[in-house]
């Protein structure tokens, strides 16, 4: 009986050990996520600014004013010269918050934005962590607070802006395009028409269309879809934007007419071009000229150049099977050429950091397959020995990894506020050339990314199948 009892008590021991190991690993990972989240909170306090849902108060006040029977675009926030500047469709979407306290509306928007960012990061990081064998929930748990700590995210949350929600809408179409491309590589086994539509990515384009109806700059993604001949997604995006806008016109005709005939063209409603927060090309040129307004012809010339560069590089990235980098380049290009791109608009730096970091990892992985170096032949003759390349793989990917780290630190620290100036009181050259460089550092980084962000050939192989099919069709026609 003792022997039997001993065996029975001894059998579960390995299972309990493994269970404790799993729990211990989960606890360690959870502690790591908590530590990163705390560090992000400290960083926001150290490098961020006082926010207090400033923009949300304007939106909330405008829709409450509108709900009480007043003209939407006549609203001016107390103690400011600022009013509602979004299209009427955005006002309709925001209208329910008129019956909420402004603080509740701000926190609700913040929670929705954080959730949207986490979902987007899960979608962007999934192919990478699957390739590397990492844990998705742990990777996203680390990446989310890190992304929330940098300038665009913390400004979006603190001011009560909607940039992360619009970012999620556009990236949802990236997921749809991925699913649609993958559908061509295997047989569709979905049971219902609805399932085939959802998992087949037939809805790709709706997110871009909705984002364009809320804010006009995402319309550049429609141009990208046309250039890359993704006709279905382009038509869905364009049709969604037009349908939503026309539908809004039938519901709130006076506001729609006021916006498209007047408010849309009144760029002074949002502030002067040279304001430090405006990190677009227009803001950069205005500050370099030390003027309140942007030199129009010069801005137009450089904008056309950046537009052509960004879209051509995006098309090339997609042709090499990297749709994420293509979308990132389009988003960055829109930030650069827009007349006003506040620092909270620059959310496209988040996927840019991911692309740079993944490019570094991919290059390091590829270097492990390099043939060993041949040393000099020994004095006595014979076959020279082979020596593994010790230093080269260690440095492979360093340039891209350093770029990802530098970009993250730049947007974490955000030195533009340390050298903020405002005309006509203070010149933008008050702190010399270094101060001017720091005040424009985010804009310079965006332009550099449009010109030099690397793409990862073969990162999303499903898009290669689409190109092969198109090539075969063109060959058959000839």
Strands (E), 51-189: none
In a domain, 242, yes or no: no
Q: What is the pLDDT of residue 386?
A: 52
pLDDT value at position 302? 96
- The verdict on residue 149 lying in a domain is no
In a domain, 276, yes or no: yes
Selection from 49, 59, 473, 61 nearest residue 277 by Cα = 49
Whole-number pLDDT of residue 7: 45
For 320-371, the DSSP string reads TT-HHHHHHHHHHHHHHHSS--BGGG-TTHHHHHHHHHHHHHHHHHHHTTSP
* pLDDT at residue number 23: 79
Is 392 part of a structural domain of the chain?
Answer: yes
- pLDDT tens string 121-130: 999 999 999 9
Alpha-carbon span 228 to 313, nearest angstrom: 11
Task: Please tell me the distance from the alpha carbon of residue 148 to that of residue 117, in angstroms, as a whole number.
Answer: 8
Confidence of residue 383 (pLDDT cuts 50, 70, 90): low
Summary mean pLDDT of the chain: 86
Statement: residue 298 has pLDDT above 90: yes
Give residue-wise pLDDT tens across range 305-356: 999 999 999 999 999 999 999 999 999 999 999 999 999 999 999 999 999 9
Instruction: Please give the average per-residue pLDDT across 181-200, as a whole number.
Output: 65
Helices (H), 252-348: 253-261, 281-288, 296-319, 323-337
Query: What is the pTM (predicted TM-score) of this model?
Result: 0.86
Instruction: Identify whether 395 is part of a domain.
Output: yes
Domain count, the chain: 1
Q: Find the domain containing 308 and state its range.
A: 271-368+387-478
Domain membership of residue 70 (yes or no) is no
- What pLDDT band is residue 80 in, cutting at 50, 70 and 90? confident
- Of 435, 414, 410, nearest to 287 by C-alpha is 435
* Bond preceding residue 424 cis, omega within 30 of 0: yes
Q: How far is CA 122 from the centre of its chain?
A: 13
Given a cut of 90, is residue 103 above it in pLDDT? yes
pLDDT (0 to 100) of residue 93: 92
> Which two three-digit tokens encode residue 213?
């109806």
Q: What is the mean pLDDT of residues 180-202?
A: 67
User: For residue 282, what are the contacts with CB-CB under 8 A and spacing of at least 6?
Assistant: 273, 294, 299, 303, 338, 339, 340
Which is higher by pLDDT, 109 or 363?
109
**Residue range 419-426: mean pLDDT, rounded:** 90
What percent of the chain is helix, strand and coil (3-state, nearest 5)?
70, 0, 25
Instruction: Flag whether pLDDT at 200 surpasses 50.
Output: yes
pLDDT score for 145: 97
For residue 470, the surrounding DSSP H or E stretch is helix 462-477
Residue 332 belongs to a domain = yes
Q: Please write the tens of the pLDDT for every residue from 273-296.
A: 899 999 999 999 999 999 999 999
Task: Report whether pLDDT(474) > 60.
Answer: no
Reported as a pLDDT band with limits 50, 70 and 90, residue 5 is very low
Residue 322 counted as domain residue? yes
* Number of residues that make up the chain: 478
**pLDDT recorded at residue 3:** 43
């Amino acid at each position: 009986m003792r022997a039997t009892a001993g065996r029975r008590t001894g059998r579960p021991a390995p299972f309990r050990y493994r269970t404790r190991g799993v729990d211990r690993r989960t606890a360690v990972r959870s502690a790591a996520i908590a530590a990163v989240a705390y560090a992000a909170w400290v960083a926001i306090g150290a490098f961020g600014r006082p926010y207090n849902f400033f923009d949300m108060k304007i939106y909330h006040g405008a829709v409450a004013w509108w709900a009480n029977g007043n003209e939407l675009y006549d609203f001016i926030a107390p103690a400011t010269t600022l009013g509602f500047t979004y299209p009427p469709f955005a006002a309709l979407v925001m209208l329910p918050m008129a019956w909420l306290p402004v603080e509740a509306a701000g926190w609700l928007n913040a929670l929705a934005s954080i959730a949207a960012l986490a979902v987007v990061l899960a979608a962007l990081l999934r192919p990478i962590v699957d390739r590397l064998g990492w844990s998705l929930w742990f990777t996203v748990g680390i990446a989310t607070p890190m992304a929330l700590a940098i300038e665009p995210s913390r400004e979006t949350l603190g001011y009560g802006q909607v940039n992360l929600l619009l970012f999620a809408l556009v990236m949802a179409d990236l997921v749809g395009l991925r699913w649609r491309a993958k559908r061509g590589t295997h047989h569709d086994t979905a049971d219902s028409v609805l399932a085939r539509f959802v998992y087949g990515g037939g809805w790709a384009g709706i997110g871009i269309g909705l984002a364009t109806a809320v804010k006009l700059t995402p319309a550049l993604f429609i141009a990208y879809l046309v250039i890359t001949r993704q006709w279905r997604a382009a038509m869905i995006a364009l049709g969604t934007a037009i349908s939503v806008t026309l539908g809004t016109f039938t519901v709130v005709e006076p506001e729609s007419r006021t916006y498209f005939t007047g408010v849309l063209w009144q760029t002074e409603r949002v502030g002067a071009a040279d304001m430090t927060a405006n990190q677009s090309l227009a803001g950069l040129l205005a500050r370099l000229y030390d003027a309140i307004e942007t030199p129009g012809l010069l801005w137009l010339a450089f904008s056309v150049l950046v537009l052509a560069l960004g879209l051509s590089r995006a098309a090339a990235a997609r042709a090499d099977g990297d749709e994420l980098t293509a979308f990132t380049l389009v988003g960055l290009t829109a930030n650069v050429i827009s007349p006003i791109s506040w620092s909270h608009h620059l959310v496209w730096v988040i996927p840019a950091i991911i692309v740079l970091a993944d490019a570094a990892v991919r290059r390091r992985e590829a270097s492990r397959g390099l043939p060993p170096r041949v040393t000099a032949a020994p004095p006595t003759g014979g076959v020279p020995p082979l020596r593994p390349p010790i230093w080269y793989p260690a440095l492979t990917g360093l340039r891209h990894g350093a770029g990802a780290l530098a970009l993250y630190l730049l947007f974490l620290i955000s030195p533009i506020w340390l050298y903020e100036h405002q005309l006509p009181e203070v010149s933008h050259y008050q702190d010399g050339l270094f101060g001017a460089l720091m005040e424009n550092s985010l804009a310079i980084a965006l332009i550099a990314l449009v010109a030099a962000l690397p793409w990862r050939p073969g990162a999303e192989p499903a898009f290669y199948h689409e190109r092969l099919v198109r090539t075969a069709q063109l060959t058959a026609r000839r």
